[in-house]
Amino acid sequence: MSRFAATLGASQTLSMAGFAEAARHHRTVADLDDLLVALTVDDGLGGQALRAGGVERDAMRMAITATRAERLSGLGIAVDSPEPDDSSARRMTRCEWSARVLQLFQSVPATRDFSATILRAVLDEPSGHVSDVLAHTDLDRAELERVLDAAGDTTMPREADAGILRGTAGVHVSAPIDAVWALLADPQRLHAWAPSVGGPAVAHGNDTWRTAAPTAAPDGRPLRVRDGVSHQQWTLAEATEPTTVQWHVTYPDLPRANRQQLILDLAPSAGGTRVGVTVQWHRTVPGRPWLGRLLRPFTRWATRQGARSTAQSITNAFD
């Protein structure tokens, strides 16, 4: 994967998490606070370094709240802020970054670990707001920067191309590994984390379930579902507690459609669980090879985007 592709993918992952955090506070513009929270659940080096330093998502949220209260108190202002609504993070999708966050994103070069690069930029953010927030945590900034410097810009392995379209993403979930595995391996709870599932699954044979696609977006807008993909068949191919869950997904109404393989790898992580999401599309029947090559850039992007969306949905399930 090129540095540009890695940067684009990581920035999209951070945006999903940041926009979800802004939605919790009923805002449509995400700012530095939302980026800080997004970094704590990122799977890249930036998120790993923050969690290793003792700053997990809840700790960052508490520090942000304390900073805001301290600032308002110094001005003699008392404001009752609305309570965060975790469910709004799943309903609301229309959001954008503030001008100063966009400026930060645009000021850093493309790298193979964008979360580390953007974290460095955030630490040096000129307003002093980030420094004030981190002062309310137990984070040793010098140690954090040492960890980032030691890692450097590591080389990422190139994907092997065996005729399979593959997209990967990783996410930190603030929940014990047993609880995360129990959710991902339960067919009756697919709709709680799988973006393509709109309601409870119905048993259809051994280890196989039928599902229906969602008819509305998280913010309530109606969705147009393409003919043939409104129904899915999920087969639990592997469930090794508590480290692995593997689902196979097909479309009963489209027998010629490619088969999807969803691989979920779990590992204990500081303050929760690291979930690796791999989405693979396998060609079911021979097709037009020239058309596949023509569409490959788009389908590769869509596969990676699917992995990122699934990873973010798993995180949202534990809010």
Residue-wise pLDDT tens digits, 121-148 = 998 888 889 999 999 998 888 888 887 7
Q: Is pLDDT above 70 for 59? A: yes
Considering 77-86, 107-116, 146-155, 233-242, the range whose residues carry the highest mean pLDDT is 233-242
**Cα–Cα nearest to 181, from 77, 74, 56, 314:** 314
Percent of the chain with pLDDT over 70: 82
Cα-flanking dihedrals φ and ψ of residue 265, to 5°?
A: -110, 130
170 Cβ partners below 8 Å, 6+ apart? 43, 44, 274, 275, 276, 277, 311
SS3 content of the chain, % helix, strand, coil (to 5): 45, 20, 35
Considering the chain, what is the average pLDDT of its residues? 82
Q: Cα–Cα distance between 282 and 141 in angstroms, integer?
A: 45
Read off the pLDDT of each residue in 265-273 and give the average, rounded to a whole number: 88
If one compares 147 and 284, the residue with the highest pLDDT of the two is 147
pLDDT attached to residue 158: 41
pLDDT band at 299 (very low <50, low <70, confident <90, very high): low
Q: Is pLDDT above 50 for 160? A: no
Considering 4-13, 90-99, 135-144, 212-221, the range whose residues carry the highest mean pLDDT is 135-144
Q: Where are the alpha helices (DSSP H) in 224-319?
A: 289-316
269 by DSSP, 3-state: which?
Answer: strand
pLDDT attached to residue 86: 64
- Amino acid at residue number 307: A
**Least confident among 60-64, 138-142, 177-181:** 138-142
Read off the pLDDT of each residue in 23-49 and give the average, rounded to a whole number: 90
pLDDT in tens, 210-257: 999 988 877 677 888 777 788 999 999 999 999 999 999 998 888 777
